[in-house]
Structures are given as C-alpha cells and as structure tokens.
Amino acid sequence: MPGNLLVNGIVLSSMPIGEYDKRIVLLTKEAGKVAAFVRGARKPNSPYVGISNAFIYGEFELYRGRSSYTVNKANAIEYFTSVTSDIDNMMMGSFFLEVANYYAQENADEKMRLLLLYRALQVIGKDGRDLELIRYIYELKTMIINGEYPNLFECKNCGTGDELVMLSGNLEGVLCNQCKSGDKSGIMLSKSTLYALQYVAGSDIKKLFSFELKPDIREEFIDVVKRLEVKYMNHEFNSVEFLKM
Ligand SMILES: [Zn+2]
C-alpha cells in the first residue's frame, strides 16, 4: 500500500544507481532492514548528498511505492566521523555493517541489532580501544541476537550451573567438572573466560563493551569466539580481508 513511513536507522550500504541516484539499505528501529532509492543523491546540490552514505544514523521519511521505497526527507543525527576518518576504524566499521546487513531481515524487529551496531560504532571511534576485542564481542552478541549459540550457563550433560570448566567439542554447550571426562574433544575454559562469554551473552548492550581482559584471557576468549563463528555464523564476509587480524 502506498504511503509514508518514518524510520530511524543507520545506512548499512549505499550504491550508485543510474546517473544520479543511489540505493541505500537501512537498518531501522521500526521496520528492520529497508532498501530505498534516493533520487538525485549524486547531484552536487542535492539535499541528500550528506545523508545517503554508509555509517550515517538519521531519521528518514520514506515513500512506499508499489514495489520499492524512495527517500522523501532525511535528517542526519550522527555521522560517526571518528569511525570514517580513520582507516582501521573504518575497515572494522565496514565489517560490522556487512554483518548487520547479512543477518538483518525486512519487516522484522531488529532493535537489538541496531542498538548493537550503534554502540559498536560508538566505541570503535574512541581512542585506545581494543579493536580486535570489540570485533569478537560484536560477533558473539550477533550470534546471541540471531539465536544460534551454545548455552553457556548450564552443563549440557547434567544441567548444573556450578563448576563449568569446558566447552564441549561439538561447541553446543559447556560441561561441568564432573561431566567433562565424557567429552574427549572438549576445550578447557578458564573461569575468567567463561565469565567473559557469559557476560556478553547476558549483558545489556549498553554495557556490553565496557570490559577489558588480561592478555591470556583475551586470547582464550577470542579463540573461543573464532570457533563459535565457524559453527554458528558460517559465512565469509567480504570486508574481513581488509581487517588486519
Ligand atoms: Zn555436568
């Protein structure tokens, strides 16, 4: 049904179309992922020049045509310039956009994913932040939002929440000290690493990026997320090759 739709969201991608237009993909609070045309966005005096690029967070009024949306009005609220002005931050940010774009769905509730992306873009722009750690926190929380991840809080075998010491070899859950001998391919987890994994799984997105880890725990945490990524994300993102890690 034709009509207008007002959405708040981040531009995930922006592609030139024809001579002057663009097609943008938005991750929105109101309607999940939405693709829209921006007519005349590439004309130098267009009012859309500043709002039709990736990374911009803003308010967009979309006209719903028969088969597509067109941007009627737009108001940029945040540009994430500390991300786009630094090459390493920008590469990491591009990876985050690509991940969000891959998993987000149209007409779905993507508020958590939007909030995760928004926070991640805010923190990668801050001085002295551990980009690699932020990346793996972002990936793990993405798996949680997708609903595909191991239960990190109870032993997969007996259900206890105490003395969890191992990630099962099939990566489907954790095992307690009593049950660990039944899994020959399991991966031993230190208490701190398990706690970090549980923290990411359970914590509010606003507090998600607030921790740092000691070097050995950091290494173990990243190793576990890399293994989970292979099993639960199982997709090759193009922007990964530009990351220095
Ligand atoms: Zn057990």
* Same-domain check for residues 237 and 195: yes
- Domain for residue 129, yes or no? yes
Phi, psi (5° rounding) for residue 72? Answer: -95, -40
Q: List CB contacts of 90: < 8 A, sequence separation 6 or more.
A: 83, 84
- Domain for residue 173, yes or no? no
Domain termination residue (choose one: 45, 79, 113) = 79
- Domain for residue 123, yes or no? yes
Phi, psi (5° rounding) for residue 60? Answer: -125, 130
Query: How far apart are the CA of 174 and the centre of ligand 1, in A?
Result: 8
Query: How far apart are the CA of 100 and the centre of ligand 1, in A?
Result: 35
Query: How far apart are the CA of 152 and the centre of ligand 1, in A?
Result: 12
Rounded to the nearest 10°, the torsion over CA 213, 219, 221, 226 is 140
Residues 243, 91 contacting (CB under 8 angstroms): yes
Higher pLDDT, 65 or 104: 104
Query: How far apart are the CA of 160 and the centre of ligand 1, in A?
Result: 6
What would the pLDDT profile of 117-161 be if each residue is shown by its tens digit?
Answer: 999 999 998 888 899 999 999 999 999 999 999 999 999 999 999
Whether pLDDT at 50 is above 70 = yes
Side by side, which strands form the sheet with 187-188? 151-155, 173-176, 164-167, 187-188
Give the whole-angstrom CA distance, residue 28 versus residue 239: 22
What would the pLDDT profile of 73-109 be if each residue is shown by its tens digit?
Answer: 999 999 999 999 999 999 999 999 999 999 999 999 9
Q: Domains in the chain: how many in total? A: 2
What is the per-residue pLDDT for 45?
Answer: 87
Other Cβ atoms within 10 Å of 45 Cβ, number: 6
Give the whole-angstrom CA distance, residue 133 versus residue 226: 12
* Same-domain check for residues 94 and 136: yes
Query: How far apart are the CA of 180 and the centre of ligand 1, in A?
Result: 7
What would the pLDDT profile of 7-34 be if each residue is shown by its tens digit?
Answer: 999 999 999 999 999 999 999 999 999 9
Give the whole-angstrom CA distance, residue 16 versus residue 22: 4
One-letter amino acid of 195: Y
Instruction: Please give the residue range of the domain that contains residue 214.
Output: 82-149+185-242
* Same-domain check for residues 87 and 190: yes
Query: How far apart are the CA of 208 and the centre of ligand 1, in A?
Result: 28
We report the CATH number of the domain holding residue 37 as: 2.40.50.140
Residues 89, 131 contacting (CB under 8 angstroms): yes
* Same-domain check for residues 40 and 75: yes
Query: How far apart are the CA of 165 and the centre of ligand 1, in A?
Result: 10
Give the whole-angstrom CA distance, residue 16 versus residue 74: 18
Burial of residue 27, with CB atoms counted within 10 A of its CB: 0-12 exposed, 13-18 middle, 19 or more buried: buried
- Domain for residue 230, yes or no? yes
Q: How confident is the model at residue 5 (pLDDT cuts 50, 70, 90)?
A: very high
One-letter amino acid of 165: V
Query: How far apart are the CA of 200 and the centre of ligand 1, in A?
Result: 22
We report the CATH number of the domain holding residue 208 as: 1.20.1440
Query: How far apart are the CA of 193 and the centre of ligand 1, in A?
Result: 18
Dihedral sign (CA 217, 141, 98, 96)? negative
Rounded to the nearest 10°, the torsion over CA 196, 199, 200, 203 is -160
* Same-domain check for residues 12 and 108: no
* Same-domain check for residues 7 and 119: no
Mean predicted lDDT score pLDDT of the chain: 95
Phi, psi (5° rounding) for residue 174? Answer: -115, 160
Query: How far apart are the CA of 176 and the centre of ligand 1, in A?
Result: 4
Domain termination residue (choose one: 79, 112, 135) = 79
Query: How far apart are the CA of 172 and the centre of ligand 1, in A?
Result: 14
What is the per-residue pLDDT for 245?
Answer: 62
Neighbouring residues of the ion ligand 1, judged by CB less than 5 Å: 155, 157-158, 176, 179
Query: How far apart are the CA of 218 and the centre of ligand 1, in A?
Result: 26
Query: How far apart are the CA of 177 and the centre of ligand 1, in A?
Result: 7
Query: How far apart are the CA of 44 and the centre of ligand 1, in A?
Result: 64
- Domain for residue 155, yes or no? no
Nearest to 155 by CA among 131, 136, 179: 179
